[in-house]
Chains A and B, each alone.
Chain A
């Protein structure tokens, strides 16, 4: 008979714990998400999520900054050099970040792998306007900062290269004229342009100061 009172006590404890549970809310904290795989695959194939370094350079120069530019690399890499107007958010911080879903976001990394992974993460969270800087910092260095005019150039190419030189100088880079196509030739030491301030939020010199939206 002692069992009976023990059982009654256990039953009471169970019901009490269950009852309290009614008020405790959802144990899942919102990091379990679902993705539309079909939509995703179509986006990747039609490449509507790409942004070229040329486009990005133009936008920065013209202060058309209606998007958030995110540098997904480490803080150390960011401090060494980052694309102007970019914000440093690492992958785990991005997962926790509370960016409004209406924002347009452009992500870049060294190449394209981490930015693509961050793209996937943001898409899963439900962001509609997420874009990857195609080619990442590597292409930025090759085409924007240190553009090379190839040997055997035509007059049209020279004309085009003038604009490229301007863009490069704007970002503090060093354009060069290519020598032999021989890979073994000495590549000039590519020094990354030093930035005036490390916050990355300063608008480029000479451009009209644009008020950041949605601070």
Chain B
């Protein structure tokens, strides 16, 4: 009897520490497409991510340096007309949901791990440095392009928006172009 109990316990421990495999990419894609479609059907808009960060930054900056922020046309767009908080924004709530959804999926799949993703040929510190630089470049690029892969590529792509498709091609082009120089980080 005791051995039976023991094996079930070790099994339980195993299932928590070993991460479950990911979904079939095509099925994930269909799932993602359906979520996107739901957004179109209910709201008449698609998904996004970068816009939420802009709202957050504009909000914080306005508290710290209101005169400067209000004089800047870029931040003004996210501050709105002052009748409601810039944080009461559709994208802000959506991105909060993304954090939560990602966490739930990760938790269910046993994939929550405090780690740093990188290839074997680079140090943690260098990886973090690159992560920061990459993020900054993305931030600038996303603002110039009026969106990121979620907002422009996925959303604009579905409605055959010219700018979105041009953007998407450039993202792939840019990434592939620089991939050789970054191979030390990943391979």
Q: How far is the CA of A102 from the CA of B106 in the complex (A)?
A: 64
Prevailing SS type, chain B contact patch = helix
Q: Which A residues touch B24, using CB under 8 A?
A: 3, 6
Instruction: Report the nearest B residue to A7, measured CB to CB.
Output: B26
Q: How far is the CA of A164 from the CA of B45 in the complex (A)?
A: 57
Q: What's the tally of chain B residues with a CB closer than 8 Å to chain A?
A: 3
Q: How far is the CA of A10 from the CA of B24 in the complex (A)?
A: 12
From residue 77 to 125 of chain B, which have CB atoms closer than 8 A to chain A? none
Quick one: CB contact mask for A1-36 with B, threshold 8 Å, 1 for yes? 001001100100000000000000000000000000
Q: How far is the CA of A3 from the CA of B24 in the complex (A)?
A: 8
Nearest chain A CB to B178's CB is how many angstroms away? 30
Q: How far is the CA of A63 from the CA of B24 in the complex (A)?
A: 75
Q: Which B residues touch A7, using CB under 8 A?
A: 26
Q: Which B residues touch A3, using CB under 8 A?
A: 24
Q: How far is the CA of A200 from the CA of B26 in the complex (A)?
A: 63
Q: Which A residues touch B30, using CB under 8 A?
A: 10
Quick one: CB contact mask for A52-75 with B, threshold 8 Å, 1 for yes? 000000000000000000000000
Q: How far is the CA of A59 from the CA of B30 in the complex (A)?
A: 64
Q: Which B residues touch A10, using CB under 8 A?
A: 26, 30
Q: How far is the CA of A3 from the CA of B23 in the complex (A)?
A: 11
Nearest chain A CB to B75's CB is how many angstroms away? 28
Show 6 residue pairs from A and B whose CB-CB distance is below 8 angstroms, ordered by the A residue: A3-B24, A6-B24, A6-B26, A7-B26, A10-B26, A10-B30
Using a CB–CB cutoff of 8 Å, the interface residues on chain A facing chain B are: 3, 6-7, 10
Top 5 closest pairs, chain A to chain B, by CB = A10-B26, A7-B26, A3-B24, A6-B24, A6-B26
